[in-house]
């Protein structure tokens, strides 16, 4: 590196440099005395191109915060990027001195030098840039950071240490089904002695309201389903029961072979009459009559239904994936219901399986050419057992077009090895407010990060953001292929979505 000087020589250099301009970018032709801030203002900062380090390095956006005297890249460089020898380009007003001081770096333990575009700077350490005004009346020290990700930002991360037990009165529940009802999570668990209903408006907390439920029937717990205004469940004889709160249950006076899901205040189900499977609903709309299902429609084993909304459709659509048809064949098709008609959304979206888990979430990725972060709403499907009754599907599948086409998700979205193969789990997404201090809710906090470019509006700081909404996905239960319950609640999140919004 050129022109490295011991610190004791700088004082002499500063006196000599009064006669010269350190920058020709902004000459002060008027001769007017500048204020302190403008006399020491940095007006532009960028890294120089270096394809050996990273393509498009010179397009990385840097924020210049003159109030805090900080310069940093809001979009962190990829994990593992070598920043120990980067050249920079800067613009600032005419000055008497401009110098860097680097401490604690891999290559620069304690180095001071006058700024030059030809010099490399070790940004693994603490980098300070000091500028002294032309008339020696003002001095400003800037902190310059080249941020590099410390974690893989686009990984769907499930914290192994943050796993929790299902809410129950005992430590050994044997069955569970969890639904969303009126915005809250309703987790119905069977343990050795009783049924326990636990309700929570925010699954990130342990504030479950637990109640023992005295059911007037022997339930098929897997049929526990929520519509807009009631909860439903079948008994072992396929009699349908409803409840306004999950605590008191009454007989609906109808039977169903299985429950497909719900739409608004209607329960969508299957009945079996005279050897024919038919669509039905409860309560029945005016003019509705049960009608025969398509030959390849799944009559059991479907994933929980989720709601999709689209700017191209007037009504919401409910979709589900997988299941078993009337012939006993397993399917990987995606079916949707728009409030009036069932339709096949995708013929072979995922491998044929029953008991899959389907949820809507986000996929984030970084475009290195545009140097911009994108996050898109997607559907994710995982879990389930295949037709041989033994093979479990642990591959995560993704759709970015509302279930029409599917593909195996990237490695960054696949389940970690410590989450076992499962079927019949339920997943729900809830936003959590993150703050600078992070949470005290018992879940392990994610590392701090940097605001994605897609959320950045201005290059200058206006108001610091100290809290932001982050969507977490909660995975409840699941069983082995033979029905043994996993007493687990897992919480997952795309790492990038947890990054602190700086501005």
DSSP string, 369-409: TTTEEEEEEEEEEE--B-TTSS-B----EEESSTTSS-EEP
Distance CA 231, CA 227 (A): 6
pLDDT of residue 394: 93
The pLDDT value given to residue 439:
41
Q: Is the pLDDT confidence value at 98 over 60?
A: yes
| CATH node for 7-145 | 2.60.40.2340
Compute the distance between CA of residue 46 and CA of residue 81 in angstroms, rounded to an integer.
16
* Interval 41-92: pLDDT, tens: 999 999 999 999 988 889 888 988 888 899 998 778 887 889 999 999 999 9
490 vs 178: CA distance, rounded Å: 13
On the question of pLDDT at 225 being above 50, the answer is yes
Best CATH choice for the domain 156-498 from the list 2.160.20, 3.40.50, 2.120.10, 1.10.1060: 2.120.10
What pLDDT, in 10s, does the model give residues 12-44? 333 334 333 444 444 444 344 334 468 899 999
Read off the pLDDT of residues 267-321 as tens digits, 9 standing for 90 and up: 999 999 999 999 999 999 999 999 999 999 999 999 999 998 765 556 789 999 9
Rounded to a whole number of angstroms, the distance between the first and last alpha carbons of the chain is: 35
What integer pLDDT is reported at residue 461 of this predicted model?
Answer: 36
Largest CA distance in the chain: 102
pLDDT tens column, 408-462: 999 989 999 999 999 999 999 999 888 754 443 445 433 333 333 333 333 333 3
Return all residues near 425 (Cβ < 8 A) that are at least 6 apart: 357, 383, 475, 476, 477, 478, 479, 486
Q: Which residue has the higher pLDDT, 159 or 233?
A: 233
**To the nearest whole number, what is the mean pLDDT of the chain?**
84
Which residue did the predictor score with more confidence, 212 or 448? 212
Which residues, at least 6 apart from 437, have a Cβ–Cβ distance to it below 8 Å? none
pTM for the full predicted model: 0.75
pLDDT digits (tens, 9 = 90+) for 399-419: 999 999 999 999 989 999 999
- pLDDT tens by residue, 104-133: 999 999 999 999 999 999 999 999 999 999
SS3 310: coil
Q: pLDDT at residue 6 above 90?
A: no
The pLDDT value recorded for residue 39 is: 85
- In sequence order, the 6+-apart residues with CB closer than 8 A to the CB of 334 are 319, 320, 321, 344, 345, 346, 349, 350, 403, 404, 406
Q: What angle do CA 76, 430, 348 make, to 5 degrees?
A: 90
Report residue 231's pLDDT band, with 50, 70 and 90 as the boundaries. very high
> What's the pLDDT at 366?
64
Taking alpha carbons only, the member of 180, 349, 378, 380 closest to residue 261 is 180
115: tokens are 């700024």
pLDDT at 335 over 60: yes
pLDDT of residue 23: 43
Instruction: Confirm if 188 and 222 have CB atoms less than 8 A apart.
Output: no
Give the integer Cα–Cα distance in Å for 444 and 187.
22
In this prediction, residue 171 carries a pLDDT of 86
Q: Where in the chain is the domain with CATH 2.60.40.2340?
A: 7-145
Residues of the chain with CATH 2.120.10: 156-498
């Amino acid at each position: 590196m050129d022109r490295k000087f011991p610190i004791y020589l700088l004082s002499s250099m500063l006196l000599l440099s009064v006669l010269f301009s350190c920058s020709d970018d902004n000459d002060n032709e008027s001769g007017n005395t500048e204020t302190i801030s403008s006399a020491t203002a940095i007006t532009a900062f960028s890294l120089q191109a270096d394809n050996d380090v990273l393509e498009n390095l010179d397009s990385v956006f840097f924020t210049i915060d003159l109030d805090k005297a900080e310069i940093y890249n809001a979009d962190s460089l990829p994990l593992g990027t070598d920043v120990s020898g980067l050249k920079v380009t800067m613009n600032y007003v005419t000055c008497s001195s401009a110098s860097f001081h680097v401490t604690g770096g891999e290559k620069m333990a304690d180095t001071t030098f006058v700024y030059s575009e030809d010099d490399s700077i070790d940004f693994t350490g603490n980098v300070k840039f000091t500028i002294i005004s032309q008339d020696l009346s003002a001095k400003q020290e800037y902190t310059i950071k080249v941020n590099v990700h410390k974690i893989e930002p686009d990984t769907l991360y499930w914290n192994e240490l943050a796993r929790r037990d299902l809410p129950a009165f005992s430590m050994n529940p044997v069955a569970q089904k969890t639904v969303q009802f009126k915005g809250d999570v309703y987790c119905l668990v069977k343990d050795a002695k009783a049924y326990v209903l636990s309700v929570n408006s925010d699954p990130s907390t342990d504030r479950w309201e637990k109640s023992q439920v005295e059911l007037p029937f022997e339930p098929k717990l897997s049929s526990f389903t929520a519509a807009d205004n009631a909860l439903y469940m079948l008994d072992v004889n396929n009699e349908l029961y409803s409840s306004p709160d999950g605590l008191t249950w009454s007989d609906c006076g109808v039977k169903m072979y299985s429950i497909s899901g719900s739409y608004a205040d209607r329960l969508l189900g299957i009945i079996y009459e005279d050897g024919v499977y038919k669509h039905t609903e409860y309560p029945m709309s005016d003019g509705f009559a049960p009608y025969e299902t398509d030959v390849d429609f799944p009559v059991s084993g479907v994933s929980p239904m989720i709601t999709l909304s689209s700017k191209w459709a007037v009504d919401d659509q409910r979709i589900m994936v997988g299941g078993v048809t009337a012939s006993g064949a397993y399917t990987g098709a995606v079916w949707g219901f728009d409030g009036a008609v069932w339709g096949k959304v995708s013929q072979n979206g995922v491998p044929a399986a029953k008991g899959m888990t389907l949820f809507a979430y986000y996929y984030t990725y970084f475009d290195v050419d545009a140097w911009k972060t994108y996050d898109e709403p997607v559907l994710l499907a995982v879990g389930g057992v295949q037709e041989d009754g033994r093979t479990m599907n642990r591959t995560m599948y993704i759709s970015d077009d509302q279930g029409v086409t599917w593909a195996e998700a990237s490695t960054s979205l696949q389940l970690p090895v410590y989450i076992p193969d499962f079927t019949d789990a339920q997943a729900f997404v809830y936003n959590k407010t993150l703050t600078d201090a992070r949470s005290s809710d018992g879940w392990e906090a994610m590392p701090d990060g940097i605001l994605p470019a897609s959320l950045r509006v201005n290059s200058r700081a206006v108001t610091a953001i100290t809290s932001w909404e982050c969507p977490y996905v909660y995975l409840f239960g699941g069983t082995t292929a033979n029905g043994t319950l996993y007493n687990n609640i897992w919480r997952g999140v795309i790492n990038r979505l947890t990054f602190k919004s700086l501005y």
